[in-house]
Amino acid sequence: MSTRVYLLDNGTLAIDMSFVTWNHGHGTEYRFPVYAIFIDHPQGKILVDTGFDKAWVERVLPFEKPRQEPSQTLTAQLALLGLRPEQITHVVNSHLHFDHCSGNTQFPDATFVMTKEELRHAFVPETFERLGYDRQLVDMPSAKMQLLDLRGYEYELVPGVTLIDTPGHSYGHMSVVVKLGSQAPMVFPIDVAWTRENLEHRHPMGLHVDPLQLQYSMMKIQNIADRIGGKIFLPHDAAEYPTYRKAPQGYEG
Ligand SMILES: [Zn+2]
C-alpha cells in the first residue's frame, strides 16, 4: 500500500486583512479556509491537525464568524473516506491554536504528537497570544502523548512523513512534508505562511511570537520545497484553496 493524502475541509473563518498581512489591509474582511490533513500510511492512519469547533468559536471568538456545515466536521469528513475516529493512530498537532486542535478530544485512541514547547504555551500563553489558545482543548491527561523537542531539527514520524521545527508564528510550531511515491512531495508549511502573499514576499502575518523567526521559518520551508521539488499547500489561502483536491478525492503516489 502506498501513502495517500487527503485534505479534510473544515469550513471557514473571517478576520481583518491586517492580521493576514501585518499592518496592511485594515478594514477589509478576509474569509479563509481551514482544513485538516489525513495521511493514510502503511504504518499508521495519521491526522495532522483537528480543525475548529463552530460552537466554540461562536462562544469565544464570535467576531471570526465561523461557517461550518455539518458535512464539514472532522468526523463527517473522515466518514467520506469510510473512517471512524477510533481508527486514527496518530494525531499530529502542528501547533495548538484553536483552529488546529479543537477536534483532539474526538480521538481518544490516538497517540498525540506535538512539541513540548507548544504544549507549555497552550497552557500558559503570553498575554498577546491568549485568544489563540484554550487549554481545555488540549488538556487530555489520559491521552498517549509523544512530546518532541526539535530545537532546529526535524523528526521522521514514519518513513516519508517528516515534522520540521518552524517557530515564529508560535513557539513550538511544526511544518510537515509528505513524500509520495512518484508524485512531487507535499509540503505543508501550516502557519509559517497562511497565504502566497506571506510566503513570497516574506510578509509575516499579524499573529506571531517572533516575526523575524517567522521569516526564517518561511525561508527554511521554501528552501526545503525547492530542494526536494515539493509542492506547497498553504493552510489559509482563499484564492488557492479551490485548486486543491479535497476528500474524498486525494493525492497518492
Ligand atoms: Zn496558528
| pLDDT 10s digits, 138-195 | 999 999 999 999 999 999 999 999 999 999 999 999 999 999 988 999 999 999 999 9
Give residue 169 CA to ligand 1 midpoint distance, Å: 7
Instruction: Confirm if 56 and 152 have CB atoms less than 8 A apart.
Output: no
Which helix (H) or strand (E) covers residue 136, if one does?
Answer: helix 135-138
Nearest CA-CA partner of 136 in 107, 91, 102, 170: 102
pLDDT at 48 over 80: yes
**Which residue out of 53, 99, 134, 165 is catalytically annotated?**
99
| pLDDT 10s digits, 52-93 | 999 999 999 999 999 999 999 999 999 999 999 999 999 999
| pLDDT 10s digits, 101-147 | 999 999 989 999 999 999 999 999 999 888 899 999 999 999 999 99
Q: Indicate if 165 belongs to the active site.
A: no
**How do beta strands 4-16 and 90-92 pair?**
unpaired
Nearest CA-CA partner of 88 in 33, 36, 151, 166: 36
Give residue 191 CA to ligand 1 midpoint distance, Å: 5
Kindly report the average pLDDT of the chain as a whole number. 96
How many CB atoms are closer than 10 A to CB 116? 13
| pLDDT in the model for residue 181 | 87
Integer Cα distance of 211 and 208 in angstroms: 6
**CB-proximal residues (5 Å) to ion ligand 1:** 97, 191
Give residue 182 CA to ligand 1 midpoint distance, Å: 31
CA 176 to chain centre: 9
